[in-house]
Each structure stands twice: as structure tokens, then as C-alpha cells.
Chains A and B, each alone.
Chain A
């Protein structure tokens, strides 16, 4: 009986959270057109979430590509098809690793920054002060940050993939001596626009999900140090789980 009650309570909590997120998203999207009228606020957030994440994205992109080069070369060597390294690595990066790893890094770097910033604004009455000045914080704070994340994430994915392919090339071509012409020509002939579209769609969807989670968790954070800390942690955990779940669903649909 107690177990049933707990299950019912959890289900009610879950439904309440889903309802809360939906309403929040509705308000954010409702304010998005007005936020777009002030592009400087959005550009600032693209800088905060995108440009400031560039270093980590580029370093991780290079090493993910380099590891892919190492593993891919050793695997393909067994079948005598090491020239296909460029194709295999590019497809893996464009369709899967690029969007997914970028989203995980985005959640860790930009998502936590957004959640803690907004949570601290809540804790220090800055959001209430805006409301008292008749300024809707959803329009002034949340919508620009959400849109900034939404724009930055696909761009970061693009950069991650490009640097990742460079990492594969460094290991495959320069270290192991895979033929450079084959490496690039096979990649160009095998990677189709559909593959790029799949990666781009994933980048946009993950950007939407990770940005929404970050701004929602920050906005609804308990206004204490512990509450802000918890919101930051939840942002990473929920974004990571959501990214991998959405990745499975999108891959199943687009295969």
C-alpha cells in the first residue's frame, strides 16, 4: 500500500513537472519574438554559451577525433580497408559523436553556467526586482538565454565535427600513413547531405533540450546556495539523460 502511494506521489510529481516545463516553454516561446527585437541580448548570450565554450569544444573535438582515428585505423586494418578511415570517422562524427558529445559538453559548460546564473539571480532577488520594475524576466533574462543556447549549440556541433575530422586526419594520415587522397575523396563521396542533415537536426534538438533544461532549472531553483547547487547538478544530469534518450529516438526515426 505504501509502495503504491509512493508510486502515485512520484507520478503526480512527474506530471506536475512536465506541466510546469510545458507552461514555462510556452511562456518562453511566447516571449521569444519580443526578445528577438533586442538582438544585442541574444548575441551576448550566443557569446556566453557559444564563444566561451569554444576552447573546451575544440580540445575535446580534437581528442575524440584522434581516438576515433586510433581505434578506427586498428579496426579497419584487420579488414585491409584502412583507406575507409575518413568515411567511417566522418560518418560517426557527423551523425552521432559530434551532436551527442557537443551536447554533453554544452550541458557541462554552458548549461551549468546558465542554471547557476539564473538561480543566483533568483536567490538575490534580481528576478523579483525586474518583476517589480514591470519587466518580465522571461522576456529579459530567460528568452535571450534560451535562444542564445539554441543558436550556439548547432554552431558548436559544426566546429566539433570539423576539429574532430582534423583529429582523425592527424592520427590516420600523418601518424599511420593512410593515403591522404583516399582519406578525403572517400569521405567526400560517402558523406551525403542526409548525413549532414541528421547531424544538424540532432544539434538543434539537443540545443533546444539542453538550453530549456538549463534555463528552467535555474528559474525554478530554490533561492538558496544549496538550491542553486542542486539546480546546477540537475541541469547536467537531466541534459545528459535527455540527450542520449533523444539521440536514440532521432536515430531510430532517421535511419
Chain B
């Protein structure tokens, strides 16, 4: 968690090897992600799944084929098995009935649920979610929260969730990290964070307008600028 522009998505891109760190290491199961070549990185990525903020569904194929995509690319499973896996994953996100729809026919929330089904299709060891709750209606949001928890518990998956939604994360996360100004400002269970002495953590958890994180982007004095422009 953390204020906008603090580097949460950048951190996810570092973890998934989309960008390389200028210093330091990203270790995934003991493997230094930034030291891998392309084929090694692809092999590692087959063990992880990333849910994009916008879903990033392939727009030229339907919902069923989107979920089947990683299976068709990486396995030689028979068509009946692929069909069963896809329908199981779509059932889990409540969109089995939308299997034949094209991505353009889905709402933003539905697209993200399909993307979640696609991410789950290959049963990754680590699931990474970039702002999974943004723009979801309360019903979908509750369902996604339950689904993530169930997967973590039933399949032993590790989930990394980047979000602004303090309330949902308080239900979901075993450990939370608050990032501010590119650094970890606080870490621990949600109860620990609530009692954290840091002003920045307090401001974020309680959604306060005043605090160390300014609402306004740095700018010259407002009155002076208005007067200067009118002159």
C-alpha cells in the first residue's frame, strides 16, 4: 500500500523482471530476477501470474480463448481438458456464462475477473495483483477478496497485492507494507500498522488530507501565481 506515485507498480515491475534495478537484488525463491536472461526469465514467469490493473485481455479472441491462451501456449493438453480447466476457472470468477463474449463486450470489472481466471489457469506459485479492486462494484470486490483468500489457503499460493483499498487489504493480507517516497515506511499485520507511530502511515491508513504526504503537487504560491497571470 502507499500513496499514488510512490513506486508500487514500479516495485511489481521489478519483481516480475520487466525492469532491472539500478542497485540491489530481487530474489524470487532465491533466484536473482535481474540476473536472468530472457529464456530463464520466461521460465521463472511461468511460476508467477500478474493481474493487470486493466485486465490486459487479448482483444482479438473471446473470453474462453483468453483463459485458454496460456494453456495452449505452454502445454499439450487435450482439448477436452483445456475446456474443463477454462470452465472451472471461469466458474470460480462467476463468468462461465460469458465464455463466448469478446473482451469489448465486458465491463471493466468483468474484464478483470476474466484476467484473474486467465492468471489462475496455469496454477502459478505466486500471484501478483496490481490494483485489483479499482473500479469494481462492491459485489465483485467482495467476490475477488474471497477468491484471493480461498486460493491462498486452498492452494498455498503466495499473493502480492498492490492496492489503495485499506479496508479490503485489512481483510486479505497477512502482512502489509506501506511504501512512501520509494521506501518501506511500515510493515506488519494491519493491527500493527494501525498503531504505527509514523505520521505518514497514520495519514494513509486514516485517509487524512493533512500530513507529510502533500495533496498538492509542488507549485509556486497560489495567490502570487494568480496575481501574476492576471497582470
Binding partners A and B: yes
- Knowing A133-B73, A134-B45, A140-B73, the reply to whether A124 touches B18 (Cβ < 8 A) is no
Give A140 to B70 CA distance when docked, in angstroms: 12
CB-nearest residue of chain B to A44: B60
A135 touches B70 (CB 8 A): yes
In the complex, whether B147 has a CB less than 8 A from a CB of chain A is no
Residues of the B chain whose Cβ atoms lie less than 8 Å from the Cβ of A134: 42-43, 45-46, 70, 73-74
- Knowing A124-B59, A140-B73, the reply to whether A132 touches B54 (Cβ < 8 A) is no
Give A133 to B70 CA distance when docked, in angstroms: 6
Shortest distance from the beta carbon of A9 to any chain B beta carbon, whole Å = 26
A125's contact among B43, B52, B69, by CB below 8 Å, is which? B52
B54 touches A125 (CB 8 A): yes
Shortest distance from the beta carbon of A128 to any chain B beta carbon, whole Å = 7
As a 0/1 sequence over residues 94 to 124 of chain A, the CB contacts with chain B under 8 angstroms (1 = contact) are 0000000000000000000000000011001
Among A128, A131, A133, A136, which residue has the most Cβ atoms of chain B within 10 A? A133
Shortest distance from the beta carbon of B75 to any chain A beta carbon, whole Å = 12
B59 touches A126 (CB 8 A): yes
- Knowing A136-B42, A140-B73, the reply to whether A131 touches B56 (Cβ < 8 A) is no
Give A134 to B43 CA distance when docked, in angstroms: 7
As a 0/1 sequence over residues 127 to 160 of chain A, the CB contacts with chain B under 8 angstroms (1 = contact) are 0111111111000100000000000000000000
As a 0/1 sequence over residues 140 to 182 of chain B, the CB contacts with chain A under 8 angstroms (1 = contact) are 0000000000000000000000000000000000000000000
B50's contact among A120, A124, A132, by CB below 8 Å, is which? A132
B59 touches A133 (CB 8 A): no
Give A136 to B41 CA distance when docked, in angstroms: 11
Give A120 to B60 CA distance when docked, in angstroms: 12
CB-nearest residue of chain B to A27: B38
- Knowing A134-B45, A134-B46, the reply to whether A129 touches B73 (Cβ < 8 A) is no
Residues of the A chain whose Cβ atoms lie less than 8 Å from the Cβ of B70: 133-135
Residues of the B chain whose Cβ atoms lie less than 8 Å from the Cβ of A130: 58
A129 touches B42 (CB 8 A): no
Given contacts A134-B45, A134-B74, 6 further A-B contacts (CB under 8 A): A120-B59, A121-B59, A124-B54, A128-B56, A129-B52, A134-B46
18 A–B contacts, CB within 8 A, in A order = A124-B56, A124-B59, A126-B56, A126-B59, A128-B52, A129-B57, A129-B58, A130-B58, A132-B45, A132-B48, A132-B49, A132-B50, A133-B69, A133-B70, A133-B118, A134-B45, A135-B74, A136-B42
Binding site for A on B (CB under 8 A): 16, 18, 38, 42-43, 45-46, 48-50, 52, 54, 56-59, 69-70, 73-74, 115, 118, 122
A-B pairs with lowest CB-CB distance, top 3 = A129-B56, A125-B56, A134-B42
